[in-house]
Structure 1
């Protein structure tokens, strides 16, 4: 497997992999400025019609190669159309999907219908047949990569970013999450990072789910860990759960979803705060603690 030496090598790689696209203008999207080579990857829009994903380190290239393999093996709808792909060099080119991220339109769509569409996608992804087919193609899958940090880390390092009066609740939440997740649930194939930015919607229709770099094995509830913070209240989460349960005949555990959500939200707030990176909504960790309190209350869950 070969990866690019730098972002500047993208044009030459396109000439090698997809000569028909090499003449198009390339607009590189801003990438994260990280010291960790696992993040040395980015994407570019080619001729306003294609998206090229590439990497310039081995860890990032391995993640992208995994996504290439997953897109080739997955037999489900709502995947981006692969135009060209290669692991020598590691490069993935997909057709641009017209639309907007769910984050941008969630306040204007029917959340019950959005939940229905997401439940259909998840029921296909999480099915035993999908997992069997993918593993027959790519081999045995590993756990979904880059999980949220442990509750031990949150107890030790996150509490300093909260208000003193919030700290007992945060520590109690961590104890509760440990208890809820103490016994692993049945594993399925999960996307692994199904936040609103990885969903492309055209009006009120789900068009594509992107970024399968972290896909792997986890319990079904893990894939809904970002839903409680998407949109007003928790309606998208409860709608997705309701339709998912009906489609699959399996009942998702809301406490398990919220235990993963708690760890995910606090992990995100922790690394951003320690790195001096603003939280996505420009607010503070104490405000996010208040949000979590409201979500637990709306779902009738008492983690204290």
Structure 2
């Protein structure tokens, strides 16, 4: 990171062509009202894929949040709402998916498909779970019925450009406003409220969103007012009928995918427990108010 430029190197082989995808998405934003870092160049080198962008003024929301007072936090959240509204108005290519996510849905390293959610692939993940030795067949039958009952809620959706991974480390802020959304490697065409899946999960479980693995995420208590502020700033994002059921659906998609595909048994077992809780009508959203 320099005064004017940021150079990133991708050493994660799971995310094939992530920078090529990000460059294509960021170029869609040129000339729009979406605050973002201009893409300057990307390519492949001996150490892996690289990406160069301009450096935005400010620092990450994660870094700025603890010292910010309540009025500054509200101003940041309102600015984030404006940025999201602008993002969701960008014309998006039909079926836009990150290449690594398309690969995961096609069966290549499939556990990576757990996030962001892809509505049309939900039943596909249940069928994958049925092929796992020792799966709970009654649980999956209940999940199938649960998903089929809720799919009607998505029938009339118009896909928009969704960031897909919006939390404190992917928002740059300066003097109480958002100067840019960064890291569009997970951007895709999905219903706009898919954006809430990550944002509200971050608010409820912020400690699980550290900027790097050896650090801790923010204290959830400091984010308790964010959903309400975001609702006031971008009410259309919250106006879908049966919003809670839709958000639960996105959560179920991720948990079933982990249950079906994750290589670690303990993570599969934890996903099974969360699926059971979702079927009973409970998850991390219970404590949030907007």
Taking the aligned partners of 1:27 and 1:298, their CA distance within structure 2 comes to 37
Q: How does 1:6-25 map to 2 (within 5 A)?
A: none
Taking the aligned partners of 1:244 and 1:297, their CA distance within structure 2 comes to 21
Q: CA RMSD in A?
A: 4.8
Q: Is the CA contact 2:81–2:233 (under 8 Å) kept in the aligned structure 1?
A: yes
SS of residue matched to 2:25? helix
Corresponding residue for 2:93? Answer: 141
Taking the aligned partners of 1:259 and 1:252, their CA distance within structure 2 comes to 13
Are residues 1:32 and 2:12 paired?
Answer: yes
C-alpha displacement at 1:208, in angstroms? 2.2
C-alpha displacement at 1:101, in angstroms? 5.7
Q: Is the CA contact 2:9–2:50 (under 8 Å) kept in the aligned structure 1?
A: no
In the superposition, the TM-score normalised over structure 1's length comes to 0.56
SS of residue matched to 2:160? strand
Deviations along 1:97-139, whole A, 9 cap, x unmatched?
4523649958988575554232111112223xx43xxxxxxxx
Corresponding residue for 2:250? Answer: 261
In the superposition, the TM-score normalised over structure 2's length comes to 0.58
Corresponding residue for 1:69? Answer: 27
Aligned residues: 237
Match of 2:79 among 109, 117, 120: 117
Are residues 1:194 and 2:166 paired?
Answer: yes
Q: Is the CA contact 2:81–2:234 (under 8 Å) kept in the aligned structure 1?
A: yes
Quickly say closer, same or farther: Cα 1:259–1:277, change in 2 above 3 A. same
Quickly say closer, same or farther: Cα 1:79–1:298, change in 2 above 3 A. same
Match of 1:156 among 127, 150, 174: 127
Taking the aligned partners of 2:173 and 2:135, their CA distance within structure 1 comes to 35
Corresponding residue for 2:41? Answer: 85
Q: Is the CA contact 1:177–1:259 (under 8 Å) kept in the aligned structure 2?
A: no
Q: Is the CA contact 1:120–1:244 (under 8 Å) kept in the aligned structure 2?
A: yes
Quickly say closer, same or farther: Cα 1:241–1:169, change in 2 above 3 A. farther
Corresponding residue for 1:9? Answer: none
Structure 2: gaps (5+ residues): 102-115, 206-223
Corresponding residue for 2:104? Answer: none
Match of 1:276 among 264, 271, 277: 264
Corresponding residue for 1:179? Answer: 152
Structure 1: gaps (5+ residues): 1-19, 43-52, 54-60, 132-139
